[in-house]
């Protein structure tokens, strides 16, 4: 496993990190979730990402239990807030920031998180109020650094322009061979301002593993067959996309790689990306994904990947 510095922070994250969206505390049984976390540490993953809304607190609670026996300084822990936790609890107001960090810390069984992230932008709360509240959290020692997920370039710049508040060190966008929107504005702006990317869905909800074939039903036990985990896959499971992924499989084989290795190494070719978040329901998936760290793709492979995917890429 190789490691990269997270923005202007002093955190060095593993190139592959472990996420918990739709899985831990939700679609994956506890025993399997615990095995995945154990395997992550064995293969050098040091970054664990979660959010208060994952399982409405269940993911944080499970991770708090699983991580409780580990030396706290041996891993980087990140969580988020914004989405509804009840009929009245949502958003990024000062009240919610201060309330939700305490609830997250209680569930995670820790005194602090390394990274506290705004899960989306809150256009119902003045940005100044949100940034001042996040600054309070950092200066109280409850979070070491702050980040955001899926903010626009204009929103990011507005936060950077505010005086006297803590500065963001991370951005968490969706990014993969099939979804490249952040390349246009987000990556350049963040690179200029000491903000790294921690990307989610680098395997496009598992489609870039190659497990879904154009002429076959989804494999039993896969995310696409799960009511708890399969609700966000439609954009990646159309026939043109699956046929393009079949062409990409040949590119990976020509390079001596598995399809997941190619997809993850492609994401990590971007210097502004500090880590790629992978979900896993089995420990062998964690190990396979971790093997992508340190792989350098040739120009020929990069070009062939683009040709294979053609116009199914969202830019």
Name the residues annotated as catalytic.
Answer: 54
Q: What CA–CA distance (Å, rounded) separates 76 from 78?
A: 7
Q: What CA–CA distance (Å, rounded) separates 44 from 39?
A: 9
Q: What CA–CA distance (Å, rounded) separates 313 from 270?
A: 17
For the CA atoms of 122, 106, 205, 258, what is the dihedral angle to 10 degrees? 130
The CA-atom distances, in angstroms, between 154 and each of 25, 30, 127, 158, 189 are 35, 40, 12, 6, 10
Return the ∠ at Cα 219 (arms to 213 and 222), rounded to 5°. 110
How many other C-beta atoms are found inside a 10 Å radius of the C-beta of residue 315?
A: 8
How many other C-beta atoms are found inside a 10 Å radius of the C-beta of residue 236?
A: 23
């Amino acid at each position: 496993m190789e490691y990269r510095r997270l923005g202007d922070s002093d955190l060095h994250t593993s190139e592959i990190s472990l996420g918990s969206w739709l899985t831990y505390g939700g679609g994956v049984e506890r025993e399997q979730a615990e095995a995945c976390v154990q395997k992550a540490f064995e293969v050098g993953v040091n970054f664990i990402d979660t959010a208060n809304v994952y399982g409405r607190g269940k993911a944080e609670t499970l991770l708090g239990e699983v991580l409780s026996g580990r030396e706290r300084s041996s891993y980087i822990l990140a969580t988020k807030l914004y989405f509804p936790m009840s009929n009245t609890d949502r958003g990024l107001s000062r009240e919610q920031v201060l309330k939700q960090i305490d609830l997250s810390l209680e569930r995670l069984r820790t005194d602090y998180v390394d990274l506290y992230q705004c899960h989306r932008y809150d256009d119902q709360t003045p940005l100044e109020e949100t940034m001042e509240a996040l600054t309070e959290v950092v200066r109280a020692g409850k979070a070491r650094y702050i980040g955001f997920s899926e903010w626009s370039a204009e929103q990011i710049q507005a936060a950077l322009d505010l005086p006297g508040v803590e500065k963001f060190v991370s951005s968490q966008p969706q990014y993969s061979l099939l979804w490249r929107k952040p390349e246009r504005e987000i990556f350049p702006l963040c690179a200029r301002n000491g903000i790294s990317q921690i990307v989610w869905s680098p395997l496009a909800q598992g489609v870039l593993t190659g497990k879904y074939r154009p002429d076959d039903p989804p494999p039993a036990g896969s995310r696409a067959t799960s009511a708890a985990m399969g609700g966000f896959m439609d954009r990646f499971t159309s026939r043109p996309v699956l046929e393009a992924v079949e062409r990409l499989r040949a590119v990976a084989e020509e390079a001596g790689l598995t399809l997941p290795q190619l997809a993850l190494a492609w994401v990590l070719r971007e210097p502004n990306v500090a880590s790629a978040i992978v979900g896993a329901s089995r420990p062998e998936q964690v190990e396979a994904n971790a093997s992508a760290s340190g792989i350098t793709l040739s120009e020929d492979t990069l070009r062939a990947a683009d040709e294979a995917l053609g116009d199914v890429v969202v830019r």
